[in-house]
């Protein structure tokens, strides 16, 4: 429709001054190029941009993430329902999910406006718990609440019982989440271009301690066995507490997370830098 301004969402880390500076710079630049810019209320206040906390655009054309991987997860939660692509700017530590460094932000925005970018889609996880559905880019974690105790978690795959874990918890991750909590629990590193469900126990008190790599079409159910409660967190946000008999269901989501790419795939380069790997 002619005369409708394109809209951008800007999400910024609340505790990093550089993120606030970049948010103001991006808002000014986008506004000067005819874009409407919106920020979530908390972000707008933290960045000193309360004027950007207005009516949220229905279908934003771009979501700009200014922070680390946690900020990217928040941005994806806002952007994925409308299929809005995310441009992630790394502010702080080296992030797996960031596309550009702060010095390259305006050049990346210019390329977005010129259409000189590509879009990479990544799998999301649909998580059903306590009557609600959530979406995760990284993982869902079912973990004990009580220190010093394990929880018992019965795993079913496509409705068939597999085993019952005695562990501190269980992670169901996407390939993108393979470098998050799953990695610290000795799970495999999987290319984010892949589609799979990774089921990894956390500190299991049993001989079977391997990650299961499942087809994305397989349905995963985790049921709490026994009276000890467990918390359920989706991409680091606690969404429910499980009691005896409660079930978490996980499957591949219909929607995708979409990321703006302005150059070559960075995953392997970031992986090398994270682990200090050298060419031979």
With CA atoms as reference, report the closest residue to 190 among 204, 200, 201. 200
Q: Classify residue 238 by burial, with Cβ atoms within 10 Å: 0-12, 13-18, 19+.
A: exposed
Structural Rg of the chain based on CA atoms? 20
Q: In terms of DSSP H, where are the helices of the chain?
A: 17-32, 41-46, 69-79, 105-114, 181-184, 267-275
104: which DSSP letter?
G
How far from chain centre, in Å, is Cα 153? 24
Q: Are strands 62-67 and 7-12 parallel, antiparallel or unpaired?
A: parallel
Check if the beta carbon of residue 155 is closer than 8 Å to that of residue 170.
Answer: yes
Which residues have a catalytic role annotated? 69
Q: Classify residue 80 by burial, with Cβ atoms within 10 Å: 0-12, 13-18, 19+.
A: buried
With CA atoms as reference, report the closest residue to 211 among 181, 186, 177, 236. 186
Check if the beta carbon of residue 97 is closer than 8 Å to that of residue 72.
Answer: yes
**Separation CA 23–CA 21 (nearest Å):** 5
């Amino acid at each position: 429709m002619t005369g409708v301004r394109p809209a951008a969402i800007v999400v910024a880390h609340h505790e990093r001054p550089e993120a606030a500076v970049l948010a103001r710079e991006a808002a000014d630049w986008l506004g000067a190029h005819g874009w409407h810019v919106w920020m979530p209320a908390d972000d707008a206040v933290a960045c000193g941009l309360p004027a950007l906390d207005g009516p949220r655009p229905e279908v934003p054309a771009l979501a700009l993430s200014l922070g680390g991987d946690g900020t990217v997860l928040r941005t994806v939660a806002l952007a994925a329902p409308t299929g809005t692509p995310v441009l992630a700017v790394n502010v702080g530590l080296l992030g797996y999910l960031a596309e550009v460094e702060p010095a390259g932000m305006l050049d990346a925005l210019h390329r977005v406006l010129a259409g000189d970018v590509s879009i990479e889609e990544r799998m999301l996880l649909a998580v059903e718990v306590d009557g609600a559905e959530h979406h995760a880019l990284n993982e869902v974690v079912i973990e004990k609440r009580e220190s010093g105790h394990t929880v018992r978690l019965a795993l079913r795959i496509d409705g068939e019982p597999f085993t019952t874990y005695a562990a501190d918890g269980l992670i169901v991750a996407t390939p993108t989440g393979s470098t998050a909590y799953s990695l610290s629990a000795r799970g495999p590193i999987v290319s984010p271009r892949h589609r799979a469900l990774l089921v990894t126990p956390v500190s299991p008190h049993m001989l079977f301690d391997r990650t299961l790599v499942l087809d994305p079409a397989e349905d995963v159910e985790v049921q709490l066995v026994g009276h000890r409660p467990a918390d359920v967190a989706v991409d680091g946000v606690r969404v429910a507490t499980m009691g005896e008999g409660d079930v978490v269901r996980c499957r591949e989501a219909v929607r995708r997370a979409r990321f703006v790419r302005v150059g070559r795939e960075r995953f392997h380069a970031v992986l090398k830098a994270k682990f200090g790997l050298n060419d031979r």
